[in-house]
Chain A
């Protein structure tokens, strides 16, 4: 059976590693990006089934990633957005751009797994 591919765009390397470890344990294949620019490259070349992106990232923000996926690549892949406290406006923008779900930081990785499973089912 083919593994579901997930792109994670997150600039906090420790959190990235933790999510990679957790989601790989659940049987997903992970493609890791440290910023929005890398994420776009991975999405264009990796053909993922789901995207998890932070909003605030260097070079290219999470909002730009969503916009690129929805408007330029015209893909319907589910997108989960991470946001920190006080970024409510950004979250609304993310939803208007086409994000499917969001998680406010700090969050529980177990809860993320549940949401990933729900979106990929």
Chain B
């Protein structure tokens, strides 16, 4: 006790600044000790959770494999399978376990085909997991609804169509996107019927996702895309243009030519690109006539089209644009001229006006 008193007296004799530094050091030391203990506790908790996760995952994986190989020829669901369903059902009320069961089922469903995938789907129904997913659709939070739709899509639950289609006009983009993916994944081209009266924009990302899904199917029999090409929603028109190009919809050529005069520049450029791929000779003639009324981007797209469709009779038109104000158009014009009339192209070297673009001439000459 005397020793402590001596230390306190000794400490109090220090100047104020030194005392302050000691006090701050003490507080910081205490904070470090407390934080270290807290960190240890968190690490312990996380490790415990991880171990639990591994244990449950192994248990559910084993139950699933057992279920799949416990099929009986006599009964639709064997006694062994019924007991597994019951075991899994008992774990469902706990959200963490339910999520893990769903992930185990989905991980395998994604990798196996045929009867086995169907058995996993049956298990999804029999355990009542479908009811939890449908219950999510009634949640007031949009992200819960989106997740619910995503789950129904992954497990290919066609019966939920009526419950899911209601969200096609949901104010949240994420929910709409999930609904669209659900429809296309499960109902293929028929699922695209939502485009008929889609008022909200279909983002570029959503379009790519839908196209990716469609290309996975063996049956590539596309439905009628004409109504979408005439849609008032510009993003639907752009998506339909992509479909026309990918699925070679030659029968929509007339609509495509009409779209060359669409009020939206982006659509006009896209139409030129589509026509390039579908060899639209008619489009070439129309565009040649209206060339000066087109924007630079459209003119560039048109020259891209000409590269594939050029014929010797286009030579005067090309020659006229060799000295166009736009560098890229000049370059394309020179390249096209070289293709159709190499003598005339070589003769350009002697023209005095060519002194303005000698590098470009040399570049094209060396291509």
Contacts and interface: CB of A to CB of B under 8 A. Distances in A.
Given A13-B61, A14-B107, A108 B216 contact: no
A21 B62 CA distance: 10
Contacts, number: 46
Given A105-B111, A106-B110, A106-B111, A14 B116 contact: no
Contacts of A106: 110-113, 117
Nearest to B57: A13
A14 B113 contact: no
A14 B61 contact: yes
Interface stretch (B29-37, B63-71, B274-282, B322-330): B63-71
B108 interface: yes
Contacts of B64: 14, 18
A17 B62 contact: yes
A88 B111 CA distance: 17
Given A12-B107, A85-B216, A17 B113 contact: no
**Which of A14, A17, A107, A108 has the largest count of B CB atoms less than 10 A from its CB?**
A14
B104 interface: yes
**Which of B61, B112, B216 has the largest count of A CB atoms less than 10 A from its CB?**
B112
Contacts of A107: 111-113
Contact of B68 (A13, A18, A108): A18
**Which of A22, A106, A107 has the largest count of B CB atoms less than 10 A from its CB?**
A106
Nearest to B216: A85
Interface in B55-87: 57, 61-62, 64-65, 68-69
B57 A21 contact: no
A106 B68 CA distance: 16
Contacts of B61: 13-14, 17
Interface string A1-38: 00000000000111101100110010000000000000
Contacts of B114: 108
Interface residues of B, number: 19
Contacts of B115: 108
Contacts of A12: 107-108, 111
B107 A108 contact: no
A58 interface: no
Contacts of B111: 12, 14-15, 105-107
A15 B57 contact: no
A109 interface: yes
A109 B65 CA distance: 12
Nearest to B66: A21
A107 B62 CA distance: 20
B111 to A, nearest CB: 5
A15 B69 contact: no
Interface in A35-76: none
Interface in A66-121: 85, 105-109
B29 to A, nearest CB: 42
B351 to A, nearest CB: 48
A93 B333 CA distance: 41
A120 B139 CA distance: 54
Given A13-B57, A106-B117, A18 B62 contact: no
Contacts of B110: 105-106
Interface in B74-129: 104, 107-108, 110-117
Given A14-B64, A17-B65, A22-B69, A109 B108 contact: no
Interface string B207-224: 000000000100000000
Given A106-B113, A107-B113, A108-B114, A14 B108 contact: yes
Nearest to B69: A21
A14 B58 CA distance: 8
Interface of A: 12-15, 17-18, 21-22, 25, 85, 105-109
11 contacts: A14-B65, A17-B62, A17-B65, A106-B110, A106-B112, A107-B111, A107-B112, A107-B113, A108-B112, A108-B113, A109-B112
Given A18-B64, A85-B216, A109-B112, 12 more contacts: A12-B111, A14-B61, A14-B64, A14-B104, A14-B108, A18-B112, A21-B69, A105-B110, A106-B111, A106-B112, A107-B111, A109-B116
